[in-house]
């Protein structure tokens, strides 16, 4: 198992994960014992999955303290929810701010956890200043140099500490065509993707480099991603994996669709990571507010859904190299704000009081 981890994650991250898992094996957890109402101690989620894949969570600098106990007890991999994105690191032309990203990486190291880097390029993290000079559109070559500088500096800063990077996030179109029509494509042309992977690889040759997207399991988009991977590889561009975001619902996608995508990517020899998992009670287009509280029936449905998904993940543990939840507990999920501001949602394994939900027990009790 350790050898496989070294191969997948690099020597340092593998050594950290091994030490952390050894501690979980001895103490049953990384933090203090959590009591269920029945008095039984809930297991560590990452401990239960130690032989399958690392379990991660997306964090913010403030949740490192507000959700400290859950994070240290249940997870062995961290992703910065927003603090490694371009607009956070470079909010203006004269400001560079790695403080949030540093706090996540330092915390991970102090607690023997791995870090996924997210994300070097994303169309929603494209600050206006990056594309302009003195009020008018900057020369594309200047923008390209800025991007190269950002990627090189960021990946080099965390070299050996961040084991994987989402190099391009959401760069493929949802329906027609091939590449998504973004400001990056418009400004730099299709070449920006290959360039970004090459720059990231040069800055840390040991980092695993991912293309990450939502709907990466939907057959049409899946095949466009496969086309991208094949084209990059034909050009000798280093790409090691596909990140399946996993913002799913109680009914979508069907497990068979997830299975087909995992197999398709694995057949290409790619690492597969589930990078942003949550199970919403609403479909994306549903803007109603039908669930003001979380009822027992709702919890049961969600638990059954999480269970079928994790059964599948366990079947493919030889190709899945990370499963990361998008947030720690329901109180800090982005789904309470997007797409409907202030609408409560309950997509994660821990409730607003940080208690394990039925979904937690459904995926740990097998």
276 assigned to active site? yes
Q: Which is nearer to ligand GLA, 20 or 245 (CB)?
A: 245
Which residue in 81, 170, 273, 356 is the catalytic one? 170
Distance CA 196, CA 89 (A): 17
Q: Which is nearer to ligand GLA, 276 or 356 (CB)?
A: 276
Pair 95, 35: CB distance under 8 Å: no
Residues 6+ apart with CB under 8 A from 166: 116, 117, 118, 119, 120, 210, 211, 212, 243, 275
Among 52, 316, 334, 361, binds ligand GLA (CB under 6 A): 334
SS3 19: helix
Residues in the interface with ligand GLA (CB under 6 A) total 7
- Per-residue x/- track, 235-264, ligand GLA (CB under 6 A): ----------x-------------------
Residue nearest to ligand GLA (CB): 334
Structural tokens at position 53: 């894949």
Q: Which is nearer to ligand GLA, 10 or 171 (CB)?
A: 171
Distance CA 62, CA 27 (A): 27
For the CB of residue 347, give the shortest distance to ligand GLA in the complex, in Å.
11
Q: Which is nearer to ligand GLA, 214 or 325 (CB)?
A: 214
Distance CA 244, CA 316 (A): 14
Structural tokens at position 305: 């859904």
Pair 310, 304: CB distance under 8 Å: no
218 assigned to active site? no
Which residue in 81, 218, 276, 356 is the catalytic one? 276
For the CB of residue 292, give the shortest distance to ligand GLA in the complex, in Å.
22
Interface residues with ligand GLA (CB under 6 A) are 118, 169, 214, 245, 276, 334, 338
Could you list the active site residues?
Answer: 170, 276
């Amino acid at each position: 198992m350790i050898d496989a981890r070294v191969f997948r994650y690099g020597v340092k991250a593998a050594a950290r994960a091994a030490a952390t898992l050894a501690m979980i094996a001895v103490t049953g957890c990384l933090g203090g014992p959590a009591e269920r109402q029945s008095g039984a101690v809930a297991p560590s989620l990452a401990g239960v999955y130690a032989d399958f894949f690392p379990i991660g969570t997306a964090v913010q600098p403030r949740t490192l303290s507000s959700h400290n106990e859950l994070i240290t007890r249940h997870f062995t991999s961290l992703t910065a929810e927003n603090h490694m994105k371009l607009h956070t690191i470079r909010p203006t032309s004269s400001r560079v701010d790695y403080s949030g990203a540093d706090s996540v990486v330092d915390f991970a190291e102090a607690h023997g956890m791995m870090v996924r880097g997210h994300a070097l390029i994303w169309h929603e993290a494209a600050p206006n200043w990056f594309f302009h000079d003195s009020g008018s559109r900057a020369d594309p070559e200047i923008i390209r140099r800025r991007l190269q500088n950002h990627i090189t500096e960021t990946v080099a800063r965390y070299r050996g500490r961040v084991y994987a990077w989402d190099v391009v996030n959401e760069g493929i179109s949802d329906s027609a065509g091939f590449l998504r029509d973004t400001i990056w494509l418009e400004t730099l042309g299709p070449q920006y993707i290959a360039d970004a992977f090459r720059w990231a690889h040069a800055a840390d040759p040991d980092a695993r480099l991912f293309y990450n997207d939502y709907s990466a399991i939907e057959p049409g988009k899946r095949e466009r991603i496969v086309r991208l991977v094949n084209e990059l590889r034909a050009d000798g561009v280093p790409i090691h994996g596909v990140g399946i975001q996993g913002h799913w619902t109680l009914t979508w996608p069907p497990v068979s669709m997830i299975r087909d995508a995992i197999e398709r990517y694995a057949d290409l020899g790619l690492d597969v990571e589930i990078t942003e998992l949550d199970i919403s009670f609403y479909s994306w287009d549903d803007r109603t507010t039908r669930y003001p509280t979380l009822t027992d029936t709702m919890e049961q449905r969600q638990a059954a859904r999480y269970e079928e998904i994790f059964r599948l993940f366990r079947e493919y543990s030889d190709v899945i190299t990370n499963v990361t939840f998008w947030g720690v507990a329901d109180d800090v999920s982005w789904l309470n704000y997007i797409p409907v501001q202030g609408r409560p949602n309950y997509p994660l394994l821990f409730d607003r009081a940080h208690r394990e939900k039925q979904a937690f027990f459904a995926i740990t009790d097998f």
